[in-house]
Structure 1
């Protein structure tokens, strides 16, 4: 049995390696600027499209075009996201038991009436790029704790929520390991029903709604107490992502 499983794994790895090579050739032909991309990035886009070379190439080429346009200097500066930074709604500290960095997002600090959508998108890129840069060698994914305590009508922002979903799926595929959603109030489910159809099946499997009575217990299944934020029963203070 083990031998058969090992053979299947080897065959799958062989197929992926072959298609990775085909993807590199195709993307390099379409976009000479792609020649500097490493195999890890190409593999993420390939896996995001179930090893379909054509679909993966289309997604990757679209990403490269977007990146040059949206992040022309290669990074988002804090001067470009002053309004978002001032709200201190995104934090980065600690890792889970698989050494994946943890991002904490406080939903109540995002309000639709005083946000600029383009600045919000830049803020997302700033945060995701920063958490990806913090990863240890060999690690490619991160974990999100989305805290919805106090979330209400003022925090319901369909365009911003959809922008976040699309950005993760289209421009950062295979980066998200798991999302824990905490303290989801009744009103949140109305917004969730609107956004849910836009979330692909692979991403849906990574979303976990945590019961209040099992909050710490659930988080400790994947995160050591010493790496868990204090507000959830751990030992780490929240550190704003810009620090």
Structure 2
């Protein structure tokens, strides 16, 4: 746990713009260390804009930021079935089925709020790897946002419709990969995970994932059950939540369709990420 002085120092750094002269020593130290790492030599993007994600995610601790940067590239390299093809076309059917969306407004702490509707995922049409690719695509898009780097994200998983065929898709290998992104392989802070309508069949799957999670993430998991309206509004302003979840914001359909359009509009950037994972030289944007 940070002392009050350390926390205040981080808050000052976190609030500075990317081009602040006070951040330059951190960029220089992280870049210098990264250039010495064999795994990172093929990844030439050590720009300030890229490195700031890892520094903010680890409270400007350069050594921890380097570890996160290494884990990020290792994870992408070791899990190509998820990360090698981030084109929107690979998951468009799932997105068009209103499976996933990102709320237009942030919560009171400035966190991005993501929604996943498991019942809209048909395991006969999409594997768990493709479903998880949706999360990776969204993460790669929102991590570009300075406010999200500073304030992290919270995710709402609506598990209504979860059944045995969903459970069969989650194996220990995938559970470990999912937990890695939540903990030490992606430069975003997970501020909360909220589960709605969780059925008995989901508990064994969560029990598979839980051991891989650090205590701080375990403490941020909230199970709301089927009577979630009151408890969910204790964590999120009702003005940003869809009416389906007790709020007065945009409907779930609007939220999902708007985010799907944004993903489609980001195809050029997603193509660049895909070619980088494949080891090619990305084209200029």
- Is 2:123 the counterpart of 1:123? no
SS class of match (2:260): coil
- Is 2:113 the counterpart of 1:95? no
TM-score normalised over the length of structure 1: 0.76
- After superposition, the C-alpha distances for 1:93-148 in whole angstroms (9 at most, x for unaligned) are 23211222211111222344432354334322212223444664764411111111
Change (3 A) 1:155 1:99: same
State the alpha-carbon separation in 2 of the partners of residues 227 and 12 from structure 1.
Answer: 28
Indicate the structure whose relative CO is greater, using CA pairs within 8 Å and at least 6 residues apart.
2
Q: What is the match of residue 60 of structure 1?
A: 69
TM-score normalised over the length of structure 2: 0.66
Q: Shift in Å at residue 181 of structure 1?
A: 0.8
Change (3 A) 1:108 1:134: farther
Q: Shift in Å at residue 84 of structure 1?
A: 2.9
Say which of 215, 232, 255 aligns to 1:201: 215
- Is 2:92 the counterpart of 1:82? yes
- After superposition, the C-alpha distances for 1:140-160 in whole angstroms (9 at most, x for unaligned) are 411111111232212213135
SS class of match (2:161): coil
**Aligned pairs (5 A) from 1:65-214:** 67=76, 76-93=86-103, 94-133=105-144, 136=147, 139-156=150-167, 157-159=169-171, 161-213=175-227
How many residues get paired?
232
State the alpha-carbon separation in 2 of the partners of residues 44 and 203 from structure 1.
Answer: 18
Q: Shift in Å at residue 180 of structure 1?
A: 0.9
- Is 2:234 the counterpart of 1:225? no
Q: Shift in Å at residue 82 of structure 1?
A: 3.0
State the alpha-carbon separation in 2 of the partners of residues 229 and 98 from structure 1.
Answer: 18
Larger CA deviation: 159-168 vs 103-112: 159-168
State the alpha-carbon separation in 2 of the partners of residues 45 and 135 from structure 1.
Answer: 11
Q: CA RMSD in A?
A: 3.5
